[in-house]
Amino acid sequence: MKNYSRQREAILNVLRSTDTHPTASRIYEMVQQSLPNISLGTVYRNLSALSKSGEILSLDVGDGFEHFDGDISSHAHLHCRSCGCITDMPLKGELIFSAVQEYGFSPDTLSCVVYGICKDCNQN
């Protein structure tokens, strides 16, 4: 991990220990439990750096908030338009990368969000 700091480590630990795809504000609240003096600006700066370095994923699911994911493996996200939950879904990213290369495209990142209604909301 480049530019190691206690703050960056705490942010990474929070993201790698949850599958809820939190916003920066929620990450700030969670990190404050272990680092009460951390600032929201520090969280934003570290999230930006971690995202740019590829250590975390930044997600835009169209709800007006940037969400973050500590799982950087190839996977898709399911976004429920009713309750707002974001769920990971396994994805054969290497198949997609191979397919786009047939078009002469050189991929470096894969982002896939499927929108709809989750199982829990469908049952209600």
Domain boundaries of the chain, sorted by first residue? 6-69, 75-123
DSSP 91-116: --HHHHHHHHHTTT--------EEEE
In angstroms, rounded to a whole number, what is the distance separating the alpha carbons of residues 107 and 19? Answer: 25
Lowest mean pLDDT among 13-22, 51-60, 67-76, 86-95: 86-95
What's the topology of domain 6-69?
Arc Repressor Mutant, subunit A (1.10.10)
List the structure tokens of 80: 């429920």
CATH number listed for the domain at residues 75-123:
3.30.1490.190
- Tell if the pTM clears 0.75, that is, is over it: yes
**Could you read off the pLDDT of 31-70 as tens digits, one per residue?**
999 999 999 999 999 999 999 999 999 999 999 999 999 9
What is the rounded CA–CA span in Å between residue 121 and residue 75?
22
